[in-house]
Homo-oligomer: A and B are copies of this chain.
Amino acid sequence: MKTIPLRPLIREDFAPFGDVIEAEGAYHFAINGGMAERYHDLALVELAGDKARPMISLARGEPYALPLTLTFVERHPLGSQAFFPLSPYPFLVVVAPDSGGTAGEPLAFVTGPGQGINIRRNVWHGILTPLEGVSDFVIVDRGGEGNNLEEFHYPAPFLIADTAG
C-alpha cells in the first residue's frame, strides 16, 4: 500500500484545491472604532445549479486514528464546502487532483491552530477527519437542487501516515 505523508497546511500549497481560512497572513482592517479586527473575505464560496444558496451548519465528528487507510474520495460538482474548527484539535485534509474525471494520487494536509479550509467546487477530497479528539466544526456549503455528490473509489487504497514519527 502506497504511503501518503502528512504535510502542514500552508495557503500556497493548498491553493490549487481551495482556501486556507486563517487570520495569519490575511488581509484585515479595524472595525468598531478599533475594538475589533476583521480578517476579510477569506474563501471563495461557490454556488452553482438550480436554487443554489449558502447554508451554515455545524458538525461534531469522532476522531480518526493514524495511520489511516484511504479507500475513496468525493467531490461536490455544484458548490464549495468550508470547514472551520471549533475544537482545539487538528484535522486531516485529504485532497486529490483530477485525472480525466477520476481522482489522482491524494495529498494529506494537517491543520494547525486557527486554520479552517474551503474546498473548491469539484475538487476531490476526503471526508471530515478530526484527529486526537471529538471535534466541532462550522460548515458553509451549498443547498439547492441537483446531484452535488460524486465518489471515486481508488483501485488500490493509500496509507496516510505520519512518516516523521
Contact = CB atoms under 8 A, between A and B. Distances in A.
Interface of A: 21-23, 26, 31-32, 35-43, 45, 47, 53-62, 64, 82, 84, 86, 114, 116, 118, 127-128, 136, 138-140, 143
Nearest to A53: B45
B59 A38 contact: yes
Nearest to A57: B40
Which of A31, A43, A139, A140 is the most central at the interface, judged by chain B CB atoms within 10 Å of its CB? A140
A35 B26 CA distance: 32
A107 to B, nearest CB: 20
Contacts of A128: 31-32, 35-36
B23 A58 contact: yes
B41 A55 contact: yes
A60 B37 contact: yes
Given A36-B128, A128-B31, A41 B21 contact: no
Contacts of A139: 38
* 4 nearest A-B residue pairs (beta carbon): A36-B61, A39-B58, A43-B56, A54-B54
A38 B58 CA distance: 6
Contacts of A114: 136
A140 B114 CA distance: 17
